[in-house]
Amino acid sequence: MTTPSTASVSPLRYSAFPTPSGGGNPAGVVLDAAAMTDADMLGLAADLGYSETAFLEPRGDREYRIRYFSPRAEVDFCGHATVAAAVALADTTHGAGELLLHANVGEIRVRVAGAAGSFSATLTTVTPQTAELEAGPLAELLDALGWAADDLDPDQPTGLAYGGLWHPILWAATRERLAALDYDFAALTALMQREGWGTVSLLSRESADLIHSRNAFPIGGVVEDPATGAAAAALGGFLRAKGLLPSNGAIRVLQGEDMGQPCLLDVDARGSGGVRVSGTATRIGGDEAGGS
């Protein structure tokens, strides 16, 4: 069978997790990638230049295999590309309802609500996990970021959190410190590859239910991700495990503000099991590409 070249595939483009006033994180979506090789997928993701592109393969009624590629490599799970893919499927094929996606990390269930042109999606992750961030990797991480120990918020715990990918959790002592992101790209890439981290979650807690986030993503070939659903889910699981959720179990994560692409992620970590992350996605017109 002849596989398609990247030039013969026309991906859809969606911006996921926009705020009511705009922003969002762009993702590519290929609705039927069954005939594509890994090299095809990676090449198309690199051509688009988005932090992730989702590739779907139909498996049954409202059921799909989903894979995610950054410009540099396959990524086992991606929240914003999942929301983009779910809304794309709603727009083109299924309308509102439930979807079952088979990702490398396991089953991801997605509920799509709304109507054409205004769909929203809620994904449920695999069961989250937490772990300690040991002193050695923490010191290396701070060094790569150019942070000192007193740049950390002493009232918030550091650690590692998983909601499909592992993310170190660091809390900035001030919102201003979070805004001043300027890290050693090569050093952080090497550290993340060695430790198996997906992104680095840098956070500032404005209130019990409102958190500002930046997510360094050098291993994906971009400085940072404007919206990271996997990291937001991992954060929800981390806060649940630490007893730091609001009483209703819900938080809002604002991300991308400092790079001019504000994004809004609603996280529901009540109960046990997977964490729910909700947001909208809007179609990007024309052949616009690039960005992160």
Strand partners, 60: 63
In order, the DSSP letters of 132-154 are: ---HHHHHHHHHHHT--GGGB-T
Residues 237 and 269 sit within 8 Å (Cβ to Cβ): yes
Q: Are strands 74-75 and 106-113 parallel, antiparallel or unpaired?
A: unpaired
> Where in the sequence numbering do the catalytic residues fall?
52
**CA–CA separation, 4 and 37 (whole Å):** 9
Q: SS3 of 109, please?
A: strand
In order, the DSSP letters of 192-239 are: HHHHTBS-EEEEEEEETTEEEEEEE-GGGTSSEES--HHHHHHHHHHH
Residues 38 and 12 sit within 8 Å (Cβ to Cβ): no
In three state form, how does the secondary structure of 11-63 look?
A: CEEEEECEECCECCEEEEEECCCCCCCHHHHHHHHHHHCCCCEEEEEEEECCE
Q: How far is CA 38 from CA 4, 31, 41, 289, 290, in A?
A: 11, 15, 5, 21, 21
Helix axes 185-195, 135-145, angle to 10 degrees: 160
For the chain, the residue count is 292
